[in-house]
Amino acid sequence: MKHDRILLDHGSGGRASHDLIASLFLPQFDNEFLREMNDSAVMIIGGTKLAFSTDSYVVDPIFFPGGDIGSLAIHGTVNDLAMRGARPLYLSVGFIIEEGFPMADLKTIAGSMKNAAAEAGIVIVTGDTKVVPKGATDKVFINTAGIGIIDPDVNISGQNARPGDKVILSGTIADHGITILTCREGLQFDAPLKSDSAPLNTLVAEMLATSRKINVLRDPTRGGLATSLNEIAGQSRVGIRVHEEAIPVRPEVQAACELLGIDPLYLANEGKLIACAAAQDAEKLIDIMHKNPYGRDACIIGEVISDHPGKVFMKTIIGGNRIVDMLTGEPLPRIC
Amino acid sequence: MKHLDEYRDPHLAGKLIDKIKALSRRPVRLMEVCGTHTVSIFRSGIRSLLPPSITLLSGPGCPVCVTATEELDKFIKLGRQKDTIVATFGDLVRVPGSSSSLQKERADGADIRVVYSTFDALDIARRNPSRTVVFLAVGFETTAPTIAAAVKEAKKEGINNFYIIPAHKIIPPAMEALLAGGELAIDGFICPGHVSVIIGADAYRPVADKYHIPCVVAGFEPVDILQTIYMLLSQIEEGKAAVEIQYRRAVNFTGNEKALALLSEVFETCDAPWRGLGSIPDSGLRLRDNYRALDIETKFDLTVPRTQDHPGCSCGDILRGVKTPLDCALYRKVCTPSNPYGPCMVSTEGTCAAYYKYHD
């Protein structure tokens, strides 16, 4: 049963997205940059190592606890650049706006983009605005693209994980995904849920100032921690073993996930990173991360192993073993 | 300690595993009926901790999986009706019928909306008075009472564009049908927790008495399940076949009176088609005469041609516990969660999806 139409699953960030890229886009656009399948492309221009990345933002609802589509559009691209070890510098912004969209909302979004860009130390230098007839889009979609500079001796890529590396996670998982999901469905919980949307470039800069033995950085956005770990394992041809008890999840997030029957491992994060770094530098990195507000809950969640390349394993809380697969399709709440 | 922590406690779990190992003398086959148990067993890695003498089989307790192809085809046909909104729980949208799925219909323009409760569907009906809103009433005794409540409310408020397709299934008759088939050797049932909150553990007495099979109602945390396995082993070793409750913090023997009263006010039992099990007497729910007008089949003709499951798909055998996904020729080779041939690979609680996701 091959697909003859695009389904929502193709945009989920999980296996269907990967299959679409590998089977349709890669063959058309194939080159050494794309083939790496990293968050940004890295190129050398005039002796300078540059990172270049783009992302489109279609989040619904456009305003949510912890941010809005504007701040997300800045943070997302800043983070994609930072995940190559780059210092993000300049950003482009493209708006596709639905006819009838409230001017006041657009102003709010632009304001939060300004603030997010200021915090990340990035400058919006070019942009584009399109308006389409009512119904041709949903409220507002934003595309951002950015460039940043990478130090010549920094070489961070999803392909670089080495057996023996420690796997570091910068904080709690699933905050963004569960917030959006519950907002979208109008579900209310006693404890307020909040997106973790945040720029991670300062955290990355501080990590790189502490250790040059960081081999991989990845922000586990769509598809969640489980999908990002699988991507790293696949790209680096290594196995990854994580410890369930080490993975931090806020109690309110855990409770909401249990109610909906959704695994937090597969929910999006917008202000978290995974790092694979040499074991001897791991503790040093954790210490420096704890000093940054966006790395306060950083911890070691596992290690890179040479066995079972391409696979991710989990030691469960009760001591059992299981594999952790990529996301397939949008996480759907269960029936009963 | 938070409420659930003790049910995930590694020391408690370790002690139970030791006790299970000490007690387990001969090979036994235990069936977890409920899909949520299947997922919990895989997620917590319980299979990797049990002695090889204990085999866990997954049963027909994933509501999406046991939905018959003909029912799915009806849902798909319904999505193609003019001015109709189909409201459904999320699990159903990816399940393939004989030639399409709700997901594909949605991509083709059908108005298919995922809801979290029947009352959300009722709201959609209130907001769209000129359109027909149909809720796909799939699920077990757990979800049926809320659907009964929504049906009652719709009638009371006179919301005349709200309908359901009743496709509910009742668990105990299916357990009996499995045993009556005679092809399956089971030594004990891990009985569903959520379903039993509504129906009460007494509902399993016919299974225990008639077929001499121990039944223990289990909670969903790893320690709950390990304790249930221990309780079943103890019964098996003593030659007993009793109904016991491990999940005492939520389940009693008689069930939730209020929910049961609501159920029987709105629904009556009927024969129902189960994937893999065929038609089982008195295992489904249809609206009583008083509420029959809310059944969409009184408005639309949703008759569909007789259908066949995909050749080679073993979902039926897997739902009966006579095969595991590893015995299926399609599993992992061509049938994957992103390209499912049968429902067990689609639903998050399906046995094949759980094997695919958690089994090395």
Q: Write the pLDDT tens digit of every residue in B114-157.
A: 998 899 999 999 999 999 999 999 999 999 999 999 999 999 99
Over residues A43-58, the mean pLDDT reads 96
Which sign, positive or negative, has the C-alpha torsion B217, B220, B223, B229? positive
Helix B35-43 crosses helix B351-358 at what angle (to 10 degrees)? Answer: 10
Average pLDDT over all residues of chain B: 92
Backbone φ and ψ of A108, nearest 5°: -60, -45
Share of chain A above pLDDT 90, in %: 82
By Cβ distance, the residue of A6, A321, A328 closest to B337 is A328
The whole-number pLDDT of residue B3 equals 57
Q: Do B103 and A9 touch (CB under 8 A)?
A: yes
Which sign, positive or negative, has the C-alpha torsion B297, B301, B306, B307? negative
pTM of the model: 0.85
Q: How far is CA A291 from CA A284, A294, A296, in A?
A: 11, 9, 6
The whole-number pLDDT of residue A2 equals 61
Q: Is the pLDDT of residue A23 over 50?
A: yes
Q: Is the pLDDT of residue A150 over 70?
A: yes
Q: Do B49 and A187 touch (CB under 8 A)?
A: no
Q: Is the pLDDT of residue A102 over 60?
A: yes
Q: Do A336 and B338 touch (CB under 8 A)?
A: no
ipTM over 0.85: no
CB A217 within 8 A of CB A84: yes
How many residues appear in chain A? 336
Residues 6+ apart with CB under 8 A from B279: B271, B272, B273
Q: Which of B225, B220, B229, B277 is nearest to B55 (CA)?
A: B229
The pLDDT-based confidence of B276 (bands split at 50, 70, 90) is confident
Domain ranges of chain B: 65-170+256-298
Q: Specify the higher pLDDT residue, A185 or B70.
A: B70
For residues A57 and A70, what is the distance between their CA atoms, to the nearest angstrom? Answer: 9
Tens digit of each residue's pLDDT (9 = 90 or more) over B306-319: 877 778 889 888 88
Q: Do B338 and A317 touch (CB under 8 A)?
A: no
The pLDDT-based confidence of B99 (bands split at 50, 70, 90) is confident
Write out chain B residues lying below 8 Å of A8, CB-based.
Answer: 103, 106
- Chain CA centroid to CA B180, Å: 20
- Helix (H) / strand (E) containing B263: helix B257-266
Q: Do B337 and A314 touch (CB under 8 A)?
A: no
Residue A19 Cα, gap to closest chain B Cα (Å): 9
Residue A194 Cα, gap to closest chain B Cα (Å): 21
A140-150 vs A48-57, strand pairing mode: antiparallel
The domains located in chain A, with CATH, are: 31-150 (3.30.1330.10), 166-323 (3.90.650.10)
Residues 6+ apart with CB under 8 A from B359: A322, A323, B42, B325, B326
For residues B20 and B17, what is the distance between their CA atoms, to the nearest angstrom? Answer: 5
Residues 6+ apart with CB under 8 A from A153: A212
Helix-strand-coil split of chain A, %, nearest 5? 35, 25, 40
The answer, for A136 touching chain B at a CB cutoff of 8 Å, is: no
Over residues B218-238, the mean pLDDT reads 96
The answer, for A329 touching chain B at a CB cutoff of 8 Å, is: yes
The pLDDT-based confidence of B331 (bands split at 50, 70, 90) is very high
Give domain B65-170+256-298's CATH number out of 3.40.309.10, 3.20.20.150, 1.10.287.1080, 3.40.50.11740: 3.40.50.11740
Backbone φ and ψ of B201, nearest 5°: -70, -20
CB A117 within 8 A of CB A91: yes
CB A213 within 8 A of CB A278: yes
Over residues B241-261, the mean pLDDT reads 96
Buried b / exposed e along A127-149 (16+ C-beta atoms within 10 A): eeeeeeeeeebebbbbbbbbbbe
Q: Do B91 and A335 touch (CB under 8 A)?
A: yes
Interface of A with B in 146-185 (CB under 8 A): 185
The whole-number pLDDT of residue B184 equals 82
For residues B41 and B38, what is the distance between their CA atoms, to the nearest angstrom? Answer: 5
Over residues A298-322, the mean pLDDT reads 95
Write out chain B residues lying below 8 Å of A229, CB-based.
Answer: none
Write out chain A residues lying below 8 Å of B45, CB-based.
Answer: 314-316, 318-322
